């Protein structure tokens, strides 16, 4: 027959785990990590500049590279993931491409 100490430990352990889980959820929700905000996005402070001036000062989007150099062990799928160009597009832009026989140093077009 188990003693009272082991019986109470068996009852308290799940209760302690539940209390810990509830406290963790409360902390995460309260910190805003889980998107627990009020649904409104913070608006940038006005700068006194027009929208056109803001657009001129905004960082320009970098164009993707036009050429990719195949590295050892690359596959067409990995190249697609690295560059953000679909496999089908890579094949269309590089009709001479043999996806099975990629060689290091080979150059692939990524865009027109």
- With a cut of 70, say whether residue 110 has pLDDT above it: yes
pLDDT of residue 51: 61
Phi-psi region of 66 (alpha: psi -120 to 50; beta: other; left: phi over 0): alpha
CATH class of 63-109: alpha beta
- pLDDT tens-place string over residues 32-75: 665 545 555 555 666 666 666 666 666 665 566 789 999 999 99
Looking at per-residue pLDDT, the higher value among 79 and 62 belongs to 79
User: Residue 93: pLDDT above 70?
Assistant: yes
Domain boundaries, the chain: 1-34, 63-109
Q: Can you tell me the distance from the alpha carbon of 85 to that of 97, in angstroms, rounded to the nearest whole number?
A: 15
What integer is the mean pLDDT of 97-107? Answer: 93
| Helix intervals (H) in the chain | 4-31, 51-57, 76-83, 87-93
The tokens for 88 are 């089908």
Query: What's residue 77's pLDDT?
Result: 94
Mean pLDDT of 13-35: 77
């Amino acid at each position: 027959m188990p003693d009272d100490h082991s019986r109470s430990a068996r009852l308290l352990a799940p209760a302690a785990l539940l209390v810990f889980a509830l406290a963790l959820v409360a902390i995460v929700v309260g910190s805003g990590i889980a998107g627990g905000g009020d649904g409104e996005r913070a608006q940038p402070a006005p700068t006194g500049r027009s929208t056109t001036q803001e657009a001129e000062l905004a960082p320009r989007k970098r164009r993707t590279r036009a050429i990719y150099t195949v590295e050892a062990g690359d596959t067409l799928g990995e190249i697609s993931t690295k560059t953000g160009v679909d496999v089908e597009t890579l094949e269309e832009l590089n009709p001479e491409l043999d996806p099975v026989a990629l060689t290091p140093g080979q150059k692939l077009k990524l865009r027109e």
